Amino acid sequence: MSPSSRHPLTDAVVARLHDNLRSIYGGRPWLSATDILQGAVWQARELTDLGAERVFALGAAMGTGDIDDTVPHAVLNVRGDGMMNAIRMSEAALGHLPAALQARIDAWDPTHQARVVRTIFSNGQPVAGRPCWGGRPEAWQALEDKTVVDALWDRCGIPRADSRVVPARPHALHDAHHAVDKGAGTVWAADNRDGWHGGATGLRWVRTAHHITEAAEWMADHAHTVRIMPFLEGIPCSIHGIVFDDYVVALRPCEMVVLRRPGTMHFKYARAATFWDPPTPDRHAMRAMVRTVGAHLRETVGYRGVFTIDGIMSADGFRPTELNPRFGAAIGVLSGALPNLHLYLVHLAIVERVDVDWRPPDLEAVLLHAADTHRRGGAMQIIDTPVDTLRKADLVPDTTGWRVAKDDETPHARAMLGPAPSGGMLRVTFEPDHTPVGPPSAPLAVELLAFLAQHWQVDIGPLEAARPVR
């Protein structure tokens, strides 16, 4: 970000947060333990920059991207079938390390002074016998169940779509589907019987009699109860808040790049972006919603830190579909406009109720300004077949679509294909100077992912973008 595009408070806010974070994270050892090694190494470098005495990076699996070999690290090489299964296997593996790795960490931290920084969806359990920093209480985690959140919207006076929560039994599901279907089908969301689920893995878009039968069979195997609501056409999006003791920061809406698999019941989560702008009145309404919900969470369950409201910008305005009482994926994209803020580490310290001079209104002003003036985003898809090598490509548009850029051409997007716990990952990042601001990014994501799938000969199947209707 150029100095001319900075908010007048930016330098002061960044400097103050650095001082705060160095007082919290500096001078002690930290274990950075995440599902993906690249993320753990990146986090370890942040902690080192903040004066950590020493940092060890531990990943459950190798991911897509480069590794900084100057950071001490280890990888467990977890493999799982599908995104959520891989995440659950990663969580379990980090909680039960092999004896040799446990001994290595004990030798690195013989006095057990290290604390653990885990990933955004972590269950907060210890790793290698070291306590998790910023772990979420069970009462907070319970609110991520998609079958209970409508009661929270009602208590807060938040407009929402009609819904039914019914047992995962065929007749109850069939009747609820027909009761709320407005003509475009219904969306079914499983409860958390099998644990937290995200990335649209526990959702089904039900439109036909065959869909009802197939979805009911899946739900019976994975849920006790199911929330059924009308399918809402519109842009999937989210908005984040940060709950402090006496203030709720309300950030800006982010597009959730959630794609559709034509002819199926499945949605495909594909990251997030900040290029899309909703109508100004909707933006104001969403920010007001964040303040209301954040205050409610603080008063009822003692919530502190970042939370996310996901939903659809429908023809009737924003309608929430889920609450994520944790640091969300989209805020990582949004806050990337000011990476020196180390916002995830700020979040963890707020969860731990560390009493420092946070000045939330200043932080809010700087984050909003940075996110509005420095747009970011991209798309990804999980590949079922294993990918063992990292490949990269810079992309430019041409008269027929997209092609790989020549050495002297400025890329409009940058792509990678590499390993992932459930096979491989195809990832593309939009270059901000060459990405339109205002319209949604999902159509661009569909184009680029289709080109890359053909270019690298990987199967992601056909994908479609949501339609703006507001």
Q: Are residues 191 and 109 in the same domain?
A: no
Whether 10 maps to a domain, the answer reads: no
Q: Are residues 184 and 82 in the same domain?
A: no
Q: To the nearest 10°, report the CA torsion of 429, 433, 439, 441.
A: -10
Burial of 178 (0-12, 13-18, 19+ CB in 10 A): exposed
Q: Which tokens hold the place of 143?
A: 């609110």
Query: pTM for the complete prediction?
Result: 0.95
**pLDDT value of residue 65:** 86
Whether 96 maps to a domain, the answer reads: yes
* Boundary (domain end) residue, out of 206, 231, 256: 231
Each residue's pLDDT tens digit, 227-276: 999 999 999 999 999 999 999 999 999 999 999 999 999 999 999 999 99
CA–CA gap between residue 291 and residue 297 (Å, rounded): 10
**pLDDT value of residue 2:** 52
**pLDDT value of residue 6:** 80
Rg, Å, the chain Cα set: 22
**pLDDT value of residue 67:** 86
Whether 434 maps to a domain, the answer reads: yes
Q: Are residues 105 and 45 in the same domain?
A: yes
Number of domains in the chain: 3
- Domain of residue 188, CATH code: 3.30.1490.20
**pLDDT value of residue 434:** 97
Each residue's pLDDT tens digit, 362-392: 999 999 999 999 999 999 999 988 898 999 9
> For the packed helices 149-156 and 280-301, what is the interaxial angle rounded to 10 degrees?
110
User: What's the residue count for the chain?
Assistant: 470
**pLDDT value of residue 156:** 98
Whether 54 maps to a domain, the answer reads: yes
Whether 65 maps to a domain, the answer reads: yes
**pLDDT value of residue 317:** 97
Contacts with 277 (C-beta within 8 Å, 6 or more apart), sequence order: 283, 437, 438
pLDDT lower than 50: segments of the chain: 3
* Boundary (domain end) residue, out of 231, 254, 273: 231
Contacts with 86 (C-beta within 8 Å, 6 or more apart), sequence order: 35, 61, 78, 79, 80, 420, 421, 422
CA–CA gap between residue 47 and residue 167 (Å, rounded): 46
**pLDDT value of residue 359:** 97
Q: Are residues 39 and 126 in the same domain?
A: yes
Containing structural domain, residue 180:
162-231
